[in-house]
Amino acid sequence: MSQQDSDKAEFKKHSSPLKRGLLEFIILKAIDAESMYADQLCRFLAKTAFSCPPGTLYPLLRKLTKSGYIVHHSDDARKISHAHIQAMRDRYQ
């Protein structure tokens, strides 16, 4: 295996977690700006370099909900808003 192939393999190994982390921040930033439905979020992400299919988005939304970073509005269980955006900001500054 050449050095270039080795470098590509190493990048690929680390790029997926990096993309997920960046995607989390993009989602949190979008939701911090305005509450939205998951399909609205999907359309928003499609306009960025980080578009993701629903099969990726929904598990990530469940993870962020379980972690307490996002919540569902009580008046509409499908609409998502931020909960602890400041906690995330503090964590990564």
Q: Phi and psi for 80 in degrees, rounded to 5?
A: -110, 140
The pLDDT tens digits of the residues spanning 56-87 come to 888 888 888 888 888 876 665 556 666 555 55
pTM for the model: 0.64
CATH number of the domain where residue 48 is located: 1.10.10.10
- 59 versus 7: the higher-pLDDT residue is 59
Distance from first CA to last CA of the chain, Å, rounded?
Answer: 39
Token readout for 36 is: 């939205």
- Supply the range of the domain harboring residue 51: 3-91
State how many domains the chain has: 1
Q: Answer whether 32's CB lies under 8 Å from 82's CB.
A: yes
Compute how many other C-beta atoms are within 10 angstroms of the C-beta atom of residue 31: 23
DSSP code at position 36: E
Residue type, 49: A
